[in-house]
Structure 1
Amino acid sequence: MFRKLFSTAALAAITLAAGHAAAQADAKNFPSKPLRIVVTFTPGGAPDILARMLGERFTAAWGQPVVIDNKPGAGGNIGSDFVAKSAPDGYTLVVGTVGTHSINGALYSKMPYDMVKDFSPVTLLATTPNILVVNNDVPAKNLQEFIQLGKKEGKMTFASSGSGTSIHVSGELFKSMTGIDMTHVPYKGRAVAIPDLLGGRVTMMFDNMPSSLPLVKEGKLRALGVTSSKRAAAAPEIPTIAESGLPGFEAVSWFALFAPANTPKPIVDKIQAEVARYLKTADASKKLMDLGLEPVASTPEELAAYQKSEIAKWAKVVKDSGAKAE
């Protein structure tokens, strides 16, 4: 019996070692075919910008083409679910967001994927504050005037790029903290929402800074505040919402790279290492900072820990605000 147990243990050890060696060999040869990076929103926003930057870098580093696949809808759930159900070989990745990988689980009554169990964290790419922007015809010139206007006139509308996004939940947090009667108007992406904001069909939007800051600088939209605890380096002239009369208000967007669950760790580590090298270059850092994005390049383990804390944080915000996915 002891010989049988020993043989079984030895066989298991050999199998494990063989599997590890195979994974190392796969990582060494990775990638040997085109890659796909899924963006869960329409083109033009921060996730799309990051995906295209990474695609160019991967092609330059590895000599393989990279397909950027925009799959918008359901607050990012459609694209994320596609990746969750893809082969765990490193060839299909997703630029996850604070919405798709920390907020949606609390906001949607039924999720098509598990935000943690169905993914292998690769790296936290970047963070950015949202920016509260209004149509230029709104008479309020600062946040306090806007709050007073909202309480006096009543109903207002706030646009988002979809239910569950940080853009949506930032608005819900603002609504609950100010007591203003506000109606959420979800769109299939910020590219669809912005024209309505510019045209005055919606009152306001908590957009990602990379999307709206250029419009603010061009004078097409008015910025009333940023959602981070400190002023953004890309726009230090814009005050934070917290310092403008809503102490404790903070809602930071983040973007991270995820692979399907059970993707071999050597492959995950190879992708993470290449992303880290790229984000630390002066060119990538400057480009992101100019857009209002702060590069991070975390380890997979750091991303996993950060995601866990964010899930707990946003679950409370969603519960307290009473927000629901439309």
Structure 2
Amino acid sequence: MRLFRAATLALGASLALAAPIAGAQAWPSKPVKIVVTFPTGGAPDILARLFSEKAQLGQPVIVDNKPGAGGNIGADIVAKSAPDGHTIVMGTVGTHSINGSVFAKMPYDMVKDFAPVSLIASTPNLLVVNNDLPVKTVQDLIAHAKANPDKLSFGSPGIGTSVHVSGELFKSMAGVKMTHVPYKGRQFAIPDLIGGQIQLMFDNMPSALPMAREGKIRAVAQTGAKRSPAAPDVPTVAESGLPGFEATSWFALFAPAGTPKEVVDKIAAEAQRIYKLPEVAERLAKLGLDPILSTPEDLAKYQAAEIAKWAKVVEESGARVE
């Protein structure tokens, strides 16, 4: 009897240990959902839909747009989802490094509630203005803003986004006064920019560049440390009179904390395969998106550095929301 009980306990322990491994090996056992924390049309949405279109996982990959609160609503949904790899988020520099400093109360912890999967891409923001605004350079904009304090408004797809903080950083470094107007997404801000209800925006390049090329808005400068190959004729803010100015957006996949490492590694491997495809790389290049694929461990280190960097920017710019 003792031997029987011992054997039964040993078998039970073996099955308990094998269950998570079997679950990881079976992933995905149902459709995988990528939550995008902003409306359709922006860089996070484009990247998520490329993953959805090219994925070869044996199950469909569904893109689910959950915008609001600077991306916090969608990110929080994933933070509280089952840690089985079937719900992941296309995180942004805002949702996973800036918002913790901007918002006094966060519904989730940017680090503890997520398992890093892989960096995907980065992009500079593009300083674009309404065509009727009499400025063509950064120095023109600074002079115009100083001559008209608090009369210029800049839009963003939400508080805490890189688009918002880029504007706050510009205000701080240039010593100008402008009013921030947050929208529920860039698709709502752009019509107002074209119509003149707001005068400028530091939009993600993949969203703003096509509009500038069509002549609907005017590109003044880009916010990266160097010019993007997608817009070689557009100078950086730094080279236009504000040395040291840099505000780059990045996008990365995160799973809920506690997701098995085997599953995280499988998602990361699929991301590596998809975003290295020639047709995908070509599309990203045209949009001004620079692939920066990484391991989960490298993403964790990068995120930690970005949280520290943006905390300092937010403190200096006074962009915090109570």
* TM-score, normalising length: structure 1: 0.93
Q: Among the aligned pairs, what percent are the same residue?
A: 64
SS at 1:117 equivalent: coil
**Residue equivalent to 1:104:** 99
**Residue equivalent to 1:312:** 308
1:18 Cα deviation after fit: 5.7
1:136 aligns with 2:131: yes
1:27 Cα deviation after fit: 2.8
**Residue equivalent to 1:197:** 193
> For residues 126 and 49 of structure 1, what CA distance do their matches in structure 2 show?
11
**Residue equivalent to 1:3:** none
Give the 3 Å change call, closer, same or farther, for CA 297–24 of structure 1 in structure 2.
Answer: farther
Q: Stretches of 4+ moved more than 3 A in 1?
A: 17-24
1:154 Cα deviation after fit: 1.7
**Residue equivalent to 2:149:** 154
1:179 Cα deviation after fit: 1.3
Deviates more, 1:201-210 or 1:288-297: 288-297
Superposition RMSD on alpha carbons, in Å? 1.6
1:20 Cα deviation after fit: 5.8
SS at 1:62 equivalent: coil
Specify every segment of 5 or more residues in structure 1 that has no aligned partner in the other structure, as ranges. Answer: 1-6
**Residue equivalent to 1:95:** 90
Which one of the candidate residues 27, 36, 39 is aligned to 1:39? 36
1:142 Cα deviation after fit: 1.1
Which one of the candidate residues 128, 140, 143 is aligned to 1:145? 140
* TM-score, normalising length: structure 2: 0.94
Give the 3 Å change call, closer, same or farther, for CA 21–233 of structure 1 in structure 2.
Answer: farther
**Residue equivalent to 1:171:** 167
1:42 counterpart letter in structure 2: P
> For residues 16 and 212 of structure 2, what CA distance do their matches in structure 1 show?
54
**Residue equivalent to 2:249:** 253
Contact 1:27–1:270 (Cα < 8 Å) also in 2 = no
Q: Could you list the per-position Cα deviations for residues 183-241 of structure 1 after superposition, in whole angstroms to 9, with x for gaps in the alignment?
A: 10000000000000000100100000000100111111111111100000111110000
**Residue equivalent to 2:237:** 241
SS at 2:272 equivalent: helix
> For residues 15 and 154 of structure 2, what CA distance do their matches in structure 1 show?
56
- Equivalent pairs, count: 313
> For residues 20 and 225 of structure 1, what CA distance do their matches in structure 2 show?
56
> For residues 274 and 19 of structure 2, what CA distance do their matches in structure 1 show?
27
SS at 1:243 equivalent: helix
**Residue equivalent to 2:3:** none
1:67 counterpart letter in structure 2: I
Which one of the candidate residues 292, 303, 309 is aligned to 1:296? 292
1:122 aligns with 2:98: no
> For residues 310 and 49 of structure 2, what CA distance do their matches in structure 1 show?
28
Give the 3 Å change call, closer, same or farther, for CA 19–175 of structure 1 in structure 2.
Answer: farther
> For residues 149 and 74 of structure 2, what CA distance do their matches in structure 1 show?
36
1:118 Cα deviation after fit: 0.1
> For residues 222 and 127 of structure 1, what CA distance do their matches in structure 2 show?
22
Contact 1:279–1:296 (Cα < 8 Å) also in 2 = no
> For residues 266 and 16 of structure 2, what CA distance do their matches in structure 1 show?
17
